[in-house]
Amino acid sequence: MGIAIETSGLGKRYGRTWALRDCSLAIPAGHVVGLVGPNGAGKTTLLSLAVGLATPTAGEVRVLGGLPAGSPAALDGVAFMAQDAALYRNLSVADMLRVGRNLNRRWDTARAQGRLAELGIRLDKKVGALSGGQRSQVALTLALAKRPKLLILDEPLAALDPVARHDFMAALMAAVAEEDVSVVFSSHVVAELERVCDYLVVVQGGQVQVAGEVEDLTAGHHVLTGPAEQVDAIAQRFPVVRDRRASAQAHLLIRTGDLSAAPPGWQRHPVGLEELVLAYMREPSASMLPGPARARSEQVAC
């Protein structure tokens, strides 16, 4: 299996603006990866480069254990669902399936039709006449019909109501349970990531700020609550991601896996993924990345 997406020194410039800069990342295969960050952080750029829809200005990006992004071998193994489930609105669902079959070397028509029947989506309906939730399910069906090894989705939840969002994620997770596919998706819905993602990447200002397995990230961070006058002493002992203090009390989000880290008079609390992500997004200067050595060893181990 190995690596799903690997970038080194990756950069993309539009005009005079770097949308993504000096991005080095190794995402192991077999995960459901959440890609988060503020608007304009470079999420869509990173995904487009991994799919091969854009070419890098600097550095390189490889997928599925070393295939150059956008190469024919990579295209066979990667499926992409663009923002707003970009489909031809004037085509019927059946015609959309036909388009998919003709544009891909590997295509499982029976599987696609079976999925749509299960969802109760009629083949003779025009794509434009479907609800937003149905449209996204058709797009997911098309993406899965090519039996990808890596499925990349750009903001799949953005346009969906809560029920459609839940149904979409349920369908996606069922696909992950049934076969051997790595999933990378960008999202603004931070609260819903915790149930779904087991790997997290935070990008900010065109750079990767946090990357790692969710379990490691939550086990490796804690909130300490205690007297404000001792904050500076604590900050010398542990890396502080976020520092919130009032006149008497302070809450510090610190990075350490050490469970005995709480000094006398301080309380230690576990931290959830949402709190962690928001803290990093609010503090652009903090970062948490596996070193290059670790990324390498993971490559060997998988």
Asked if residue 145 binds other proteins (CB under 8 A), the reply is no
User: In the chain, at which residue ranges do the beta strands (DSSP E only) sit?
Assistant: 3-14, 17-28, 32-36, 58-63, 67-68, 78-81, 150-153, 182-186, 199-204, 207-213, 221-227, 240-245, 249-255, 267-270
Shortest distance in whole angstroms from residue 170 CB to other proteins: 4
Does position 220 interact with other proteins (CB under 8 A)? The reply is no
Q: At closest approach, how far in Å is the CB of 172 from other proteins?
A: 8
179 binds other proteins (CB under 8 A): no
Distance of alpha carbon 256 from alpha carbon 169, whole angstroms: 32
Closest to other proteins by CB, 60 or 118: 118
List the one residue from 76, 95, 194, 243 that touches other proteins (CB under 8 A): 194
Q: Is 101 in the site for other proteins (CB under 8 A)?
A: no
Q: What is the DSSP letter of 296?
A: H
Closest CA to 193 of 273, 299, 288, 85: 273
67 contacts 219 by C-beta, under 8 angstroms: no
Amino acid at 111: R
91's CB contacts (< 8 A; 6+ apart) are 99, 126, 127
Q: Name beta bridge partners: 35.
A: 186, 201
Nearer to other proteins, 199 or 280 (CB): 199
- Closest to other proteins by CB, 167 vs 283, is 167
Binding of residue 195 to other proteins (CB under 8 A): yes
**What string of DSSP letters covers 207-218?**
EEEEEEEHHHHH
DSSP tag of 239: -
Q: Applying CB under 8 A, which part among 64-72, 74-82, 173-181, 278-286 lies near other proteins?
A: 173-181
User: Tokens standing for 151?
Assistant: 């499925």
Q: Tell me which of 176, 228, 240, 278 binds other proteins, using CB under 8 A.
A: 176
The rounded distance, in Å, linking the Cα atoms of 293 and 109 is 43
In whole angstroms, how close is the CB of 273 to other proteins at the nearest point? 10
Closest to other proteins by CB, 76 or 298: 298
Number of residues near other proteins (by CB under 8 A): 18
For 137, the enclosing helix (H) or strand (E) is helix 132-145
- Check binding of 117 to other proteins (CB under 8 A): no
* Binding of other proteins by 119 (CB under 8 A): no
Smallest CA-to-CA distance from 184 within 21, 15, 61 is with 61
Chain positions 247 to 276 lying near other proteins, rule: CB under 8 A, are 272
* Minimum distance, C-beta of residue 212 to other proteins, in the bound complex (Å): 15
Nearer to other proteins, 94 or 191 (CB): 191
Angle ∠(47,49,54) on CA atoms, nearest 5? 120
* Residue 201 engages other proteins in binding (rule: CB under 8 A): no
Question: Applying CB under 8 A, does 124 fall inside the site for other proteins?
Answer: no
Q: Which is nearer to other proteins, 177 or 293 (CB)?
A: 177
**Residue keyed to tokens 């709480």:** 262
189 is a contact residue toward other proteins (CB under 8 A): no
CB 220, min distance to other proteins, A: 15
198 in contact with other proteins (CB under 8 A):
yes
Count of Cβ atoms closer than 10 Å to residue 265 Cβ: 9
Phi, psi of 8 (to 5 degrees): -140, 125
Residues found near other proteins in the complex (CB under 8 A): 32, 166-167, 169-174, 176-178, 194-198, 272
